[in-house]
Structure 1
Amino acid sequence: MNPGVSILCFFLCLSLVVCDRVYVHPFHLFSYNKSSCKELDNLTQEEKTFVPISIESQTIPACEENLKDKTKLETRSMDTKSNQRLSYLKGLVYVLGARFYRVLKETQKGKNILLSPTNLYGSLVSFYLGASGDTAADLQKLLGFVPPSNDADCTSRVDGYKVLLGLRTIEDLLLSSRAADLLFSKLSCLFSAPNVHLSESFVHSLAPSANDFYARATDFTKPSRAAELIESFVEAKGVSRSKNLLTNIDPSTTLLFATYIQLKANVKKASQLEALQEFWTDSSTKILVPMMSVTGTFQYRSDDSKKFSVIKVPVSENALLVLVQPVNSNDLNQIESELSMHPSFTWLHNLSPRHITLSLPVLTIKSSYDLQELLTDMNLSGLLGKNATLRKISDANLTIGKVINQALFKLNYNGVDQTDLLEENGSSPPLEVTLNKPFLLAVYEKNSKAMLLLGRVINPLNGV
């Protein structure tokens, strides 16, 4: 064949392949397709249910072990999900996390803030899995999943199970390197009133969303006793109890949901400064706090308007700590007010390598929130209220009580002696960056760029 003809045929074929590609809206990465809709239509209306064992029981249900095995299999199968799916999901997670942060900024003035956008998002997705009708539609809208067309059929609905597994994939990516300097765990608990029948499929769907998942029954008509039992149960699973979060439990509660995440990280090659250092909690108040220091090459930028600086600190192969502090007499409130709720917003953009000596507090910060209170502050108190349709959780008329989200973040040094560290560009004086006044922090998963933690440090000594 003539070479020119061969080349022409090649490009014709290539053009046909390109033209044959059909754009898939990101929404459909998580929505039901037509075949799955048919399967849903063919499902029997009789849902298998069970009554959770008492929180005081020492017996471990056989089904609980099966759930753990199922969780391992499910999370392993999610490792190869497309970057496009995670990229879309991380944007939705950030937007909702920023909304919650703005609420906390107003209600927690002058206090430390720590929230997990992925954890809060996952709690709402969990209830979406159990919702139907208007409740499901309202939750899907809050989660940011807006169908590209106005069709009201099954394909306009999101498969919440896919979303939960996507969130779990992000957490699995964080731990894929198995770094000794990073520990991450997540516990989820579903507490129901005695004799409330829960859907087996609903509980099975929640199991892969955490390292450990438990369903237990407790008597909420005795609120103080219920709070004591829940706190003891959670503490026995390795989670420190939340101060005062379980006070004022509504005696009419029939379901309480709680998730706890813990992230402990060490700054690589950092060492503790011998003396306590000054930290200014405001312009007129200073305290002495333990601090660490590290010299190295970090990704850094100071924004054009000179309002704040950003420094990225790797704390493991797949975990990135981002620290943001005001500069040039600006305060933290100015930075927070400009915290965008657009999914493309990130502090990871436009960074460049700089030789830096970074000094920052040794930090332990924990926060606990009732998602119901946050929704009330957002004028969404009815979303999980007594009129919510949650028939996929139970055939009982559920009263959702507290929806607890607790996050713990510990940042420490690894004890390396700085005098033993040789920097390639040690001949040039490093830029001195010292976090000695209120600052913001965020923890990202490196591959997906999803934000797992977002916080504000006003006083490093008031972390727990």
Structure 2
Amino acid sequence: MKITFYISLLLAGLHAVSHGHLPPNHHNGHDPNEPKHHMHHAGEAIACLKLVPNNADFAFQFFKEIILEVPNKNAFFSPVSISTAFAMLALGARSTTQTQILEGLSFNLTEIQEKEIQEGFHNLIHMLNHPESKVQLNMVNAIFLTDKLKPLKKFLDDAKALYQLEAFTTDFNNPREAEKQINDYVERKTHGKITNLVKDMDPQTVMLLGSFVFFKGNWEKSFKPEHTEEREFFVDAETTVKVPMMHQTGRFDFYFDEDLSCTVVRLHYNGSATAFLVLPAKGKMKQLEQTLVKETIQEWSDHLFKRLLSLYFPKFSISGSYEITNMLSKMGIVDVFTDQADLSGITGTPDLKVSKVVHKASLDVDERGTEAAAATAAEIMTMSLPPAIEFNRPFLMLIFDRDTNCTLFIGKIVNPAITS
């Protein structure tokens, strides 16, 4: 009988977030495959960028799985949080279990070695946690262990060195005390954004592995709160809700994809984060969901152009909470959840398996930004009214990091009036 443990993937996102491999930074002419001049170490950037295509493939494959689980509902998750936690778990996995995890994360092990993958994630975490960035972006990895479980020194040393892992001893026999310890830690690390994360803990738990991302950013061009007004949002043919709709007129990165019948608008955050807002034509969301791949984002990036628009975008807060074991199993990560699991790299004996994987993510989108007031007036002075783009029906929001080209968050907003 294997001992089981939980993986908890936690994430808090504030004020909309995203960057990724995919979108080159046309904002400053940066090619995503070229390290930026201010990156500290070229080698770090190259190791990090080597993961980009695989991480993006995983992100969009997981997106397809999650929308099958929650059809016609809001969905929001952080692919980088999930892939980081499982790459960290792969450090302690052996044989088929390790192969399944890495291949399930979309890595081709004939093209990239496990050592390169681990080094790439190490550099990714280091770069995302860069204190010089104008966005607040922190990736935190933590492990809570019963004192009965003695992990191998090598596993802990490697996890600390590669993933900046914080390790804590926890008495899972006292579930209430264990929950308080973990929840207090998470609440502190997410600046109060995520509270009461774990509940009803199984006293048989021996280890909880957590990975989460915290993001807070301001729009490069803020929306003025006095321009926000209640407007209708058409959830489906039968349902209409009132939402606070932000409004801004100006020149935006814009593209209309004729093949997928969707409008793409890109907004930048101060710092290195970028959000892609994608509005499918009526009845075209399913087609977009089923065909979205990293190449689609690259094509949008390549075709974006500046256009004067009257943009309406809802102010909203959403969160997603998912038990994702089943989704990962469908993606080929199977043995780690069964008695076939070989996690002997963690304890030295193959007596562990993962019982449950929980992922939580949340996002707030509001007007905040830090644009100088003087910069706006000239953009609005035009003889005719610019075309209006109104995000008043279900849409996608993707948040990327331009420095690392990492897919931070993917969201499908079906009803912005629902917070979870």
Does the 8 Å CA contact 1:292/1:413 hold for their aligned counterparts?
Answer: yes
Q: Deviations over 1:272-310 (max 9, x none)?
A: 234322212222211122222222221111012361010
Name the residue aligned to 2:138.
185
Name the residue aligned to 1:322.
276
Cα separation, 2, equivalents of 1:235 and 1:317: 25
The reply to whether residue 126 of structure 1 matches residue 88 of structure 2 is yes
- Please, which of 358, 361, 382 is the counterpart of residue 311 of structure 2? 358
Name the residue aligned to 2:387.
431
Q: Deviations over 1:415-441 (max 9, x none)?
A: 779898213473253221111111101
Does the 8 Å CA contact 1:293/1:359 hold for their aligned counterparts?
Answer: yes
Name the residue aligned to 1:463.
419
Change in Cα spacing, 1:147 to 1:274, as seen in structure 2 (3 Å) is closer
Q: Deviations over 1:343-399 (max 9, x none)?
A: 985642311111122111123222233443432454634234343222222235224
2:235 match: secondary structure? strand
Does the 8 Å CA contact 1:104/1:113 hold for their aligned counterparts?
Answer: yes
Following superposition of structure 1 onto structure 2, how do residues 14-53 of structure 1 map, counting pairs within 5 Å?
A: none
| Stretch of structure 1 that moved more, 251-260 or 116-125 | 251-260
What TM-score, normalized to structure 1?
0.72
Change in Cα spacing, 1:448 to 1:167, as seen in structure 2 (3 Å) is closer
Counterpart residue type for residue 86 of structure 1: C
Change in Cα spacing, 1:102 to 1:164, as seen in structure 2 (3 Å) is same
Does the 8 Å CA contact 2:140/2:213 hold for their aligned counterparts?
Answer: yes
Change in Cα spacing, 1:312 to 1:241, as seen in structure 2 (3 Å) is closer
Does the 8 Å CA contact 1:265/1:411 hold for their aligned counterparts?
Answer: no
What TM-score, normalized to structure 2?
0.79
Deviation at 1:117, TM superposition (A): 1.6
Name the residue aligned to 2:77.
115
Does the 8 Å CA contact 2:249/2:380 hold for their aligned counterparts?
Answer: no
Counterpart residue type for residue 106 of structure 1: L
The reply to whether residue 196 of structure 1 matches residue 149 of structure 2 is yes
The structure number with the bigger radius of gyration is: 1
Deviation at 1:157, TM superposition (A): 4.2
Change in Cα spacing, 1:166 to 1:144, as seen in structure 2 (3 Å) is farther
Change in Cα spacing, 1:205 to 1:79, as seen in structure 2 (3 Å) is farther
Counterpart residue type for residue 240 of structure 2: K
The reply to whether residue 412 of structure 1 matches residue 366 of structure 2 is yes
Does the 8 Å CA contact 1:256/1:403 hold for their aligned counterparts?
Answer: no
Counterpart residue type for residue 386 of structure 2: P
Higher relative contact order (CA 8 A, sep 6+): 2
1:383 match: secondary structure? helix
Change in Cα spacing, 1:410 to 1:226, as seen in structure 2 (3 Å) is same
Change in Cα spacing, 1:239 to 1:201, as seen in structure 2 (3 Å) is farther
- Please, which of 60, 66, 73 is the counterpart of residue 98 of structure 1? 60
Q: Deviations over 1:239-274 (max 9, x none)?
A: 54466x645544433222122222223322311234
Cα separation, 2, equivalents of 1:249 and 1:354: 52
1:299 match: secondary structure? strand
Cα separation, 1, equivalents of 2:156 and 2:300: 37
| Stretch of structure 1 that moved more, 95-104 or 199-208 | 199-208
Give the CA RMSD over aligned residues: 3.1
Cα separation, 1, equivalents of 2:402 and 2:126: 13
Cα separation, 2, equivalents of 1:279 and 1:104: 23
